[in-house]
Structure 1
Amino acid sequence: MANSLSNLRIMVVDDEAHQRLVLKKILEKKGYFVEVASNGIEALQRIKSEAFDLVLTDLIMDNMNGVELLEKIKLFDKSIEVILVTGYGSIENAVDAMKKGAFSYFVKSHDPKELLDEIDKVEKKITSNNYYEDFGAISENFILTSKNKKFQEKLSMIKRAAQSNVNILLLGESGVGKEIIARYIHSCSEKKNENFVPVNCSAFYKGLLESELFGYEKGAFTGANENRKGRFEIANNGTLFLDEIGDISLETQVKLLRVIENRTIERIGSNKGVKVDFRLISATNKELSEEVLNGNFREDFFYRISTIIIKIPPLRERKEDLEDFIEYFFNKSQEKFKRSLKGISKEAMNFLLNYEYKGNIRELKNIMERIVVLCDSDYITLKELDIYSLKDSREESCNEEQISIGDIKFLKDMRREVESKYIRRVIEICDNNISEAARRLGISRRQLFNKVCEYEIK
């Protein structure tokens, strides 16, 4: 789930004040930045003047319903995700809306955790996209350069595997660069001049994944106004990369198994087979062997996608590369945010070299961006790292046995403490300019002012 440093900006749209307030409180408790609107017209005005990543909208509203709002949002900015909030009686309409571009839907009477899970998927999708757009194509060769002997051996094996056309399964923790490895395999193969087609399986809600993969015929369902090729057809003669394959349903696994075996797909709404030829690369951060034992993953499907298994090591096992990575992302972050810093202090560098990057390369990249943005001197020091409680988290994780029962705090109190300290420091850096601080934090001025009042920040 999101934490108190989440950058996801959410707009809640509902003509019932109580419903707006309930959703706002639930989401803010999870650390999201939330704004509300009482109708579609107000929401559109706000969306056009402020940046939002996700809109949660009630399906049934006066003047402009949720589907109409969805269509107008997508016309304005296709990158904004939309989740429909509905009652049992309108589920069919919500499903139809998904075929018009909605990310998913949430039934009001269901457990709010279901909604939070869907929002988590949205955040992962946006983070993944931003990660590759910002550093993917530019940094690919750099990230695949290593002083670590084991990783060098891994790269040699990857090159040999790329020469064949067998199915490859990439395993590794989140953030290790599995998509970059997949693109590297494609670039080393005979298919390098053909399409590389990535699909994040966890980003699509249930049945939508199948329409994304197989495509559909005009009239197959409400909103299917034209024939559409699926990712299998787009990847014909090239490489199909199925990321987060451990998250797909057992039913979809059966259908994918048939395609892999027969190299034939049928678009939704058609019984005509279409021949496809593709190189399959899959990836997951789950232990699929355990998922098989637990009945969450088909054994025959697992063996079919894993002719060759390549486990990508986490960043903490590539310590020899850390200093180069830090310098690289330090320089890239300065370019991105138009900063000109002289360097990183010895103490800060020692901390960065000894930090346990649980989020791997992605976490390192995010840390460097944050400290470059917030640094108020010529050098990065421990002060910038302390803002994010990285040092405290590091010390606590290394000294868990030293925490006494009297040191334990409620999670909400700890969250308030960290957020209060963080906001206070950002305002200081911005010379007490609330508008600038709000812009840096990615929230509205009004929302920041409310936080200032809540935490009694002077």
Structure 2
Amino acid sequence: MSEPTRILAVDDSRSTLEVLKRNLEPEGYEVYTCERVDEALPLLEDLAIDLVITDYRMPQATGMDLIRHVRANYPDMEIMMITGYPSIPGAVEAIKDGAGEYLAKPFTTEELLSAVERIVEKQARRRVFCSPATPPDNFGIIGMSPEMDQVFQRIGKAAATDANVLISGDSGTGKELVARAVHYNSARRTASFVPVNCTAIPDSLVESELFGHVKGAFTGAKDGRAGFFEIANGGSIFLDEIGDASPNMQAKLLRVIQSKEFCKVGSSRVHTVDTRILAATHKDLRRMVDEGSFREDLFYRINVVDIRVPPLAERGDDVLVLVNHFLNKFSKAMHRTPPRITDEALAVLGGFGWPGNVRELENLIQRLVVIVDHDPIDVADLPDPMRFCLSSVSGGNRSLADVESEHIRHVLAMTGGNKTRAAEVLGINRKTLREKLKRMEGE
């Protein structure tokens, strides 16, 4: 069971502290309170505080002083500013100096809980993002989600046997990585792993590619050549996208899998082969069998152990772990320090649907590392489809005006108060931004 989130509330108003404590503790938060900044400092040292909620104006040291102290000494701690004197400049200053949320008094219970929930979710994203990319027992494949745990369990079971394996999953999910994990953790690890793209072999060359040919077997065959199965003898052959195999290829594959024998093109000599079959497809082979476009006997030959690789959208926080991995990977290749990435950008990346799966994510991070020449990477640097989905990760149960005002404050803080840059990120002109800011100041 995870530890409860620890919150330290600092406010010179005892009634406000009581409101915070009364509303947050029933939600499972562990709340500590104090009325002055100097009282808060020892608590910060002694307790593993996750979130500081501080008033803006207090006697002696202010909330801004506390924010700067926390940022200088506890960089992983989250901060929320509350105040009875709301202003756009104050919000910009607070968020720019490190406050994750800015809440104006009086606030409703719903507004408070929603703000705290957003902060806790952001903190959880950041912690996942900074976690080790390859936990033990995952065969070198990056992933910590329950969905990937099931994949790792299947890999372990398949690797302990010599059974044929069918790996299914959408394009870009990493089916070849799974196949390699099975091979290199099996008794065949010292022999060859031979990948074969079933889509790329012309029907006229199927037999020659799979089984090889002898010299003079056909026009242009000046020398003999070993086929994929001969090369994979003693090891594993990976039949990628087997669902795209032609009827001719399916027949040839069935024969060699059943008999473990083949003849090279142009020769009658029978060769015996000991090769494990690892096949992969993004198609529904069972449906293809029912439709008659895939051989039922071949399907059952290759589908002894089945491993489904989930799409990236089903893998939860694995997206953030992969973002961190690819940032480090491509930065190292370019001999540069990995760029930082804002919490807002992480939220967008974590909430995106990723139709291209891990391959799409890897391509995007590589492009960002190559193209973006400033630090940190933020929402404005992401492709338009991702920027437009920002609202889907901003939280619910609030009015459109509230969501808009909060987002504008965040963007202004992110751009250091630069209205031209903020307008560019928001996709509006400076005049529209000025009008929105006037309306917000009058709220």
Regarding TM over 0.5, the answer is yes
Give structure 1 regions of 4+ aligned residues with deviation exceeding 6 angstroms: 395-398
- Which residue of structure 2 lines up, in the alignment, with residue 293 of structure 1? 290
1:192 aligns with 2:214: no
- Which structure has more helix as a fraction of its residues? 1
Q: CA deviation at 1:319?
A: 1.0
* 3-state SS in 2 of match to 1:271: coil
* 3-state SS in 2 of match to 1:151: helix
User: Do the aligned residues in 2 keep the contact of 1:374 with 1:384 (CA within 8 Å)?
Assistant: no
- Which residue of structure 2 lines up, in the alignment, with residue 168 of structure 1? 165
User: Do the aligned residues in 1 keep the contact of 2:166 with 2:279 (CA within 8 Å)?
Assistant: yes
1:373-432 superposed Cα distances (whole Å, 9 cap, x missing partner): 1112121112211xx32325647999xxxxxxxxxxxxxxxxxxxxxxxxxxxxxxxxxx
Q: 1:250 aligns with which of 247, 250, 260?
A: 247
* 3-state SS in 2 of match to 1:282: strand
What is the aligned-residue identity percentage?
A: 42
Distance 1:341 1:311, change over 3 A: closer
Q: Distance in 1 between matches of 2:145 and 2:392?
A: 26
TM-score, normalisation: structure 1: 0.53
Q: Distance in 1 between matches of 2:302 and 2:349?
A: 37
Letter matched to residue 238 of structure 2: F
Letter matched to residue 224 of structure 2: N
- Which residue of structure 1 lines up, in the alignment, with residue 223 of structure 2? 226
1:372 aligns with 2:369: yes
- Which residue of structure 1 lines up, in the alignment, with residue 386 of structure 2? 391
Q: CA deviation at 1:149?
A: 2.2
Q: Distance in 2 between matches of 1:269 and 1:253?
A: 21
- Which residue of structure 2 lines up, in the alignment, with residue 181 of structure 1? 178
Q: Distance in 2 between matches of 1:397 and 1:324?
A: 21
Q: 1:330 aligns with which of 327, 336, 340?
A: 327
Q: Distance in 2 between matches of 1:223 and 1:395?
A: 58
Q: CA deviation at 1:323?
A: 1.5
Distance 1:395 1:290, change over 3 A: farther
1:114-155 superposed Cα distances (whole Å, 9 cap, x missing partner): xxxxxxxxxxxxxxxxxxxxxxxxxx9686243222321331
* 3-state SS in 2 of match to 1:170: strand
RMSD: 2.2
1:312 aligns with 2:312: no
Unaligned runs of 5+ in 1: 1-139, 399-458
Q: Distance in 1 between matches of 2:357 and 2:189?
A: 28
User: Do the aligned residues in 1 keep the contact of 2:215 with 2:222 (CA within 8 Å)?
Assistant: yes
Q: CA deviation at 1:338?
A: 3.7
Q: Distance in 2 between matches of 1:265 and 1:210?
A: 10
User: Do the aligned residues in 2 keep the contact of 1:356 with 1:394 (CA within 8 Å)?
Assistant: no
Letter matched to residue 384 of structure 2: S
- Which residue of structure 2 lines up, in the alignment, with residue 133 of structure 1? none
Q: 2:265 aligns with which of 259, 265, 268?
A: 268
User: Do the aligned residues in 1 keep the contact of 2:188 with 2:235 (CA within 8 Å)?
Assistant: yes
Give the number of equivalent residue pairs. 257
Q: CA deviation at 1:187?
A: 1.3
Q: CA deviation at 1:202?
A: 1.1
TM-score, normalisation: structure 2: 0.55
1:162-213 superposed Cα distances (whole Å, 9 cap, x missing partner): 1111111000011111111111101111111111111111122222233211
Q: 1:216 aligns with which of 213, 227, 248?
A: 213
Q: How does 1:26-425 map to 2 (within 5 A)?
A: 144-385=141-382, 388-391=383-386, 394=389
Q: Distance in 2 between matches of 1:235 and 1:277?
A: 8
Letter matched to residue 272 of structure 1: R
User: Do the aligned residues in 2 keep the contact of 1:201 with 1:209 (CA within 8 Å)?
Assistant: no
Q: Distance in 2 between matches of 1:395 and 1:341?
A: 24
User: Do the aligned residues in 1 keep the contact of 2:166 with 2:307 (CA within 8 Å)?
Assistant: yes
Distance 1:393 1:175, change over 3 A: farther
User: Do the aligned residues in 1 keep the contact of 2:317 with 2:350 (CA within 8 Å)?
Assistant: no
Letter matched to residue 215 of structure 2: K
Letter matched to residue 178 of structure 1: K
Q: Which has the larger radius of gyration?
A: 2
User: Do the aligned residues in 1 keep the contact of 2:165 with 2:306 (CA within 8 Å)?
Assistant: yes
Mean Cα deviation higher: 238-247 or 153-162: 153-162
Letter matched to residue 389 of structure 1: D
* 3-state SS in 1 of match to 2:233: coil
Q: Distance in 2 between matches of 1:145 and 1:257?
A: 34
1:22-41 superposed Cα distances (whole Å, 9 cap, x missing partner): xxxxxxxxxxxxxxxxxxxx
Distance 1:237 1:166, change over 3 A: same
Distance 1:278 1:187, change over 3 A: same
User: Do the aligned residues in 1 keep the contact of 2:351 with 2:392 (CA within 8 Å)?
Assistant: no
Letter matched to residue 303 of structure 1: Y
Q: Distance in 2 between matches of 1:392 and 1:147?
A: 26
Q: Distance in 2 between matches of 1:217 and 1:396?
A: 63
Relative contact order, higher structure (CA 8 A, sep 6+): 2
User: Do the aligned residues in 1 keep the contact of 2:332 with 2:338 (CA within 8 Å)?
Assistant: no
* 3-state SS in 1 of match to 2:380: helix
Q: CA deviation at 1:157?
A: 2.2
Letter matched to residue 173 of structure 2: V
Q: Distance in 2 between matches of 1:268 and 1:341?
A: 52
Letter matched to residue 163 of structure 2: V
* 3-state SS in 2 of match to 1:352: helix
Distance 1:186 1:306, change over 3 A: same
Unaligned runs of 5+ in 2: 1-136, 394-443
* 3-state SS in 1 of match to 2:277: strand
1:252-306 superposed Cα distances (whole Å, 9 cap, x missing partner): 1111111001000111111221100011110000001111122211111111111
